[in-house]
Structure 1
Amino acid sequence: MTAAAELLDEMCHLAAQSLAPMDTSDHFQVVKLLGEGSYGKVMLAVHRLRGTPMALKFFPRESTSLFSFLREYNLSLSFCTHPSLTRALGIAYSTPSHYVFAQQASLFGDLYDVILPEVGMEEDSCQRVVSQLCGALSHLHALGFVHRDLKPENVFLCDSACRWVKLGDFGMVKAAGTKVPEVWYSSPYCTPESEVARGNEDSRSSQSAAAEPGAGGGKTGRVWVAVEPSTDTWALGVLAYAMLTGAHPWAETASDCRSYLRYREWSDGAKGPHDELDVWAEPRGGGGSVEEGPPVAPQFACFTPLARCFFRTLLDPSPRLRARPEEALNYLGGEWVMEKERARLEEERKKSGGKVAIRNMKEKEGRGER
């Protein structure tokens, strides 16, 4: 365990002795719901004395341990100093029904809101997001922590053009090397190495369960593994694909998923001397190809050789060969999407954008907004 992880545990034990009860309405004017999930809910609020907008994160006491609440709070408060990590504001308290802490408010929603289905988002915006997430993840990894829950809903927007985003929701964060029960779940974000646990309880919540090694559960014996940063790298690759296309590269990372197997064949067969080719040598128009090796997996054929190397680097089926997040920065700045595909997506965005604008306008009219 790193020094940062040990310090975090010590901070939680100390904070548990001084968490004060408080009435939310005495100090905050709650404005609206920002989001909710299995953890609880997040409300936009304004501090009555200071007038400062902030997000209040509510955790139900009946389903949240005090230590897990304080761990997420102290991690966000003291260790999330990178500008692309959501930071707590030093306010934590309890009510009869909830544990609550305040954090920076991202007023433009999350990444899920701006990824158009089957279309995605503009390539420039995608590369900006990837760049910032590389920095955020590298910061956590350098401290010895692994996020373990990177997905669009946990990337929050500080502006509408994704020039500043923040990775948040640290409820799944673990110290690298920590032993946890492996869980396989049907999702493209699930890593290939997790399939050894397929047949056990298909529930992500059990990843954070405090079970004893050797305990039963599901059809097969419980598999215990060490938390590794490569989990975040895999999720970053899948997220980048989703941002560019509005879809996922496969339904699930499983040995019986055909789309994943096609990728696996390409990824495994493409490893070799040609990996050293200069992918930046491709003409800017995106016409030629400097790649050799087996046919490209169909779902990646719309990308330039530069982008294909980017994806193969992050989405290596072997966790030991998967790149660190900061290595993805080597592939930023060039074109990722083929010219013909870019033109098609731009046309689709124009159509979808109009539909989204009309829908939003109707929703506002229904609420009586102007």
Structure 2
Amino acid sequence: MKLHEKKESAIHKVQEVPLDEVNLTKEYDVEKTLGEGSFAKVLLATHKKTQTKVVLKAVHQELTSEKDFFREFHFSYHLSPHPNILSSYAVAFKAENCYVFAQEFAPFGDLAGNVRAGGLSEDVCKKIASQLASALDFMHSKQLAHRDVKLENILVFAQDMSKIKLCDFGCTKREGSLVSKITCTWVQFLPPEIHEVIKNERYTCKKSADCWQFGIVLFVCLTGNPPWQSAVPIQDPDYSAFQRWLKTRLNVPPNFRRFTPRLLRFFRRIFEHKPDKRPQVTEINKYLKDNWFVNKISHSATSTSVDVSESFLKKAESLMYLDTMIDDRHNIDENKNKLRKLLSSYGLETTVDQKVVTKRIWEWVMQCDSNVGESGLISGFGTDSM
């Protein structure tokens, strides 16, 4: 067996050892409860002997089996070496009818507490996307799926988001294993294939579900809201509109119109309905040097200024794409159809000479630039080539 195969097999072999019963108040100064749910509570404490500040995750024994506790502790500890995964210490014990293990403390809380109304700036979102993709890619390389990627499970170690870490591996499973629906995750983050699973029915765990959730996290960071409430077309009009756009490439959904064609391409790919066709999370790295917003709108609560020159540049780039599309004689028929669809979606006539079309679009773009408030209109240009 090769060395990398031994390492990979080792991470899937969860070891269970006898746990000592510890008097929590004698060993630790518990400062406060950071969070509490149905199955566990998270405590901020200082280890008296070493004066080390740690977070203690205490899982209720009556609600969690010892096997499940060891699985979470095992994955948390063995994934710790990655710089964007929360560090867990080799400390586990029983206390106050709970299974407990120790982790590092995140001074700025989780991402849910840091994403404000309207979302974060583009630069900050790119930092988050890059680091989260790296953490998930590391897990996926070990054939592990996180299964509960959401803002609450991403901890913040620097206010400028230059250091974030993925946490909470209680739902982590090996790809290909049979699993049940997670009841504690947000419905907005579930991919369609999991929505389709009947209650109490088991399904095959796939890393592609993490990729979908990664896309939802990114969208929320950019806008402050999820793209839809449920990825079920008959239940959610926003998701239904997104699905129609995927099929027809006409009429970009309103909540996606703020994004450039490049980022729209990423969202189309990551929100692919068929799990096996979704790209890996590292796909986002191809888009980090692109502009993501059609206009650079300030995310300050008091400022609504727009960088006009950058706005026009993006519009001009979109038009240059159209010019290239028109002049490409090798694909002229296909490009004509694409152009007609694009113009039709914005109510422009299509029964005119293409040179006239180009001239009219130039005039239209200039007019749009004079009214920067209508920034969403241009976002659909160029999406058909992606």
TM-score range (shorter-chain normalised) is 0.7 to 0.9
Match of 1:7 among 5, 10, 14: 10
- Alpha-carbon distance in 2 for matches of 1:181, 1:170: 15
Quote the residue 2:217 is aligned against: 239
The residue type equivalent to 2:146 in the other structure is H
Q: Give the deviation of 1:181 after TM superposition.
A: 3.5
Q: Give the deviation of 1:164 after TM superposition.
A: 0.2
- Partner SS, residue 41 of structure 2: strand
Q: Check conservation: 2:84, 2:134, Cα contact below 8 A.
A: yes
Q: Check conservation: 2:91, 2:102, Cα contact below 8 A.
A: yes
Q: Give the deviation of 1:196 after TM superposition.
A: 2.4
Q: Check conservation: 2:192, 2:232, Cα contact below 8 A.
A: yes
Distance 1:178 1:52, change over 3 A: same
- Alpha-carbon distance in 2 for matches of 1:327, 1:112: 24
Quote the residue 2:232 is aligned against: 254
The residue type equivalent to 1:180 in the other structure is V
Quote the residue 2:155 is aligned against: 156
- Partner SS, residue 276 of structure 2: coil
Q: Check conservation: 1:314, 1:328, Cα contact below 8 A.
A: no
Q: Give the deviation of 1:225 after TM superposition.
A: 2.1
Q: Give the deviation of 1:68 after TM superposition.
A: 0.7
Quote the residue 1:147 is aligned against: 146
> 1:77-226, aligned counterparts within 5 Å?
77-117=77-117, 119-181=118-180, 187-197=187-197, 200-201=198-199, 222=201, 224-226=202-204
1:151-187, Cα deviation, whole Å (9 max, x unpaired)? 0000000111111000000001010000124579872
Quote the residue 1:346 is aligned against: 299
The residue type equivalent to 2:126 in the other structure is Q
The residue type equivalent to 2:242 in the other structure is Y
Q: Identity of paired residues, percent?
A: 29
Q: Give the deviation of 1:44 after TM superposition.
A: 1.1
From the two aligned structures, give the one with the greater helix fraction: 2
Q: Check conservation: 2:120, 2:299, Cα contact below 8 A.
A: no
- Alpha-carbon distance in 2 for matches of 1:227, 1:346: 38
TM-score, normalised on structure 2?
0.73
Residues 1:296 and 2:252 aligned together = yes
The residue type equivalent to 1:95 in the other structure is A
- Alpha-carbon distance in 2 for matches of 1:149, 1:194: 12
Structure 1: gaps (5+ residues) = 202-216, 271-293, 352-370
- Alpha-carbon distance in 2 for matches of 1:81, 1:259: 39
Q: Check conservation: 1:158, 1:164, Cα contact below 8 A.
A: yes
Q: Check conservation: 1:150, 1:232, Cα contact below 8 A.
A: yes
- Alpha-carbon distance in 2 for matches of 1:326, 1:40: 32
- Alpha-carbon distance in 2 for matches of 1:60, 1:75: 19
Q: Check conservation: 1:186, 1:252, Cα contact below 8 A.
A: no
Q: Check conservation: 1:54, 1:103, Cα contact below 8 A.
A: yes
Task: Count how many residue pairs are aligned between Structure 1 and Structure 2.
Answer: 298
The residue type equivalent to 2:208 in the other structure is S
Q: Give the deviation of 1:150 after TM superposition.
A: 0.5
RMSD between aligned residues:
2.1
Structure 2: gaps (5+ residues) = 305-386
